[in-house]
Amino acid sequence: MSAPVLEIHNVSVSYGGVVPAVVGVDLTVGPGEIVGIIGESGSGKSTLAHSILGLLPKAARVRGDRFVLAGNTILDADRTTLSVLRGPSAAMIFQNPMAAFSPIHTLGKQLVDLLWRDRDQTVATKRERIIAALKQVGIPDPMGKLDAYPFQLSGGMLQRVAIAAALLMRPALLVADEPTTALDVTMEAQILHLMRSLRKTAGVSILIISHHLGVIAEICDRVAVMYAGQIVEEGAVETIFSDPRHPYTQALFACEPALIPTGVGRLPVIAGEVPRPGGTGCDFAGRCRFTEERCLTLSPPWVSASADPRHHARCHRSKP
Ligand SMILES: Nc1ncnc2c1ncn2[C@@H]1O[C@H](COP(=O)(O)OP(=O)(O)OP(=O)(O)O)[C@@H](O)[C@H]1O
Ligand SMILES: [Mg+2]
């Protein structure tokens, strides 16, 4: 098997407070793989994504045993080296495509500017590359779009342009944080279809964050469930949706079972508050219907959760 595109081990991120926002996360994304991250608001999904892209605020601290992106170790490198390493390795798609562009310049100018690293190429060459990228993401009349301003495109079209912009960087990994949340259902379906096709046409791996279980079920190969800064369950998408073993994952799915595998269900709200991570025992114990004595005192181990060798959960009740 070829080397993973992303490989992180025991990575924690702190924003400066006593309690980290991401705690001891292990995550691997293989070549051409689409991995999803789900979890309630505040569980650390975006923090994890931003740590991969180097988008965390200056005060944030990333620690870990291993942090390898497209073959480069990015932990402990200084900021300048990091931006050089990350630039071509990973690109990010955000929730609101409008925010990805300046309102006062044409798309053509902004996309050409994006290619500033390629100093040996003429503007004409760059425009050709851009037109090809816009075609690749299914934008009609790509040449005409170069003279358009962001507000002249629909949200879905603009998200396509944002994806094209990301692809122009030829990233090994595309990180998409709620890429369809701002779009209507039809646009959402089209963007998902596009992202799925990109792994073949652009050879890119994708890490996608979504509140939307239908989105995750539809395009991911593997899913990681985050709760209070930790990954509490991980496995193949079919396994996670058909046989979730962590009580947190079960609670997420149980609220609207009919909607889960194929529907348009959004993550339901589970009673109680997400605790600040870092307490003793299991962080879910205060909300879990199976809580027993050991859950309050002992941190649950990361163990095999079912016969599927890729399926793991962080729960005392999951036994190998
Ligand atoms: N810039 C920041 N400075 C300080 N704390 C932050 C910052 N960004 C996020 N946090 C905190 O880190 C924790 C994780 O937040 P994060 O945004 O990663 O969650 P999320 O899973 O992406 O949530 P959502 O689903 O709402 O996008 C939260 O407690 C949040 O308040
Ligand atoms: Mg987020």
Q: Tens digit of pLDDT for each residue in 171-206? A: 999 999 999 888 888 888 889 999 999 988 888 999
Shared-domain flag, residues 163 and 257: no
Q: Give the model's pLDDT for residue 282.
A: 93
Ligand 1 in reach of 268 Cβ (< 6 A) = no
Whether residue 220 is contained in a domain is answered as yes
Task: Compute the mean pLDDT over every residue in the chain, rounded to the nearest whole number.
Answer: 88
Give strand pairing partners of 312: 234, 304
Residue with tokens 């399926």: 311
Q: Are 69 and 102 in contact (CB under 8 A)?
A: no
Query: Is there a single domain that holds both residue 158 and residue 229?
Result: no
For ligand 1, is residue 46 a contact (CB within 6 Å)?
A: yes
Q: Which ligand 1 atom sits nearest the alpha carbon of residue 59?
A: 3
216: pLDDT strictly greater than 70: yes
192 and 216 Cβ atoms separated by less than 8 Å: no
Distance 63 CA to ligand 1 centre (A): 17
Give the model's pLDDT for residue 82: 65
Q: What is the pLDDT of residues 57-76, one digit of tens each?
A: 988 999 999 999 998 888 76
Domain with 265, as residue range(s), is 6-89+173-181+204-314
Kindly state whether residue 151 falls inside one of the protein's structural domains: yes
In a domain, 193, yes or no: no
Per-residue pLDDT, 272: 66
Query: Are 177 and 72 in the same domain?
Result: yes
CATH number of the domain enclosing 73: 3.40.50.300
Question: From the CB of residue 103, how many other CB atoms can be counted at a distance below 10 Å?
Answer: 9
Percent of the chain with pLDDT over 90: 61
Pocket lining: 17 vs ligand 1, CB cutoff 6 Å: no
- Do 298 and 209 share a structural domain? yes
Entry pTM: 0.91
Residues 247 and 157 in one domain: no
58 and 101: one domain? no
- Mutation test residue for ligand 1: of 11, 12, 45, the one with most atoms within 8 Å of CB: 45
Closest C-alpha to ligand 1, atom 3: 15
Task: Identify the band that residue 151 occupies on the pLDDT scale cut at 50, 70 and 90.
Answer: very high
CA distances from 213 to 13, 216, 311 (A): 25, 5, 18
Residue 117 lies in a domain: yes
Q: What is the pLDDT of residue 263?
A: 44
Report DSSP state, residue 259.
G
- 232-283 residue pLDDT tens: 999 999 999 999 999 999 988 876 544 444 444 455 556 666 665 556 899 9
Q: Which residue do the tokens 């909300």 mark? A: 287
Question: What's residue 58's pLDDT?
Answer: 87
Domain total for the chain? 2
Give the distance (Å) from ligand 2 centre to CA of residue 162.
18
More confident residue, 150 or 99: 150
- Distance CA(270)–CA(147), nearest Å, equals 47
Domain identity same for 103 and 229: no
Whether residues 294 and 211 share a domain: the answer is: yes
Same domain assignment for residues 34 and 101 = no
Q: Is the same domain home to 26 and 147?
A: no
Supply the pLDDT for residue 202: 87
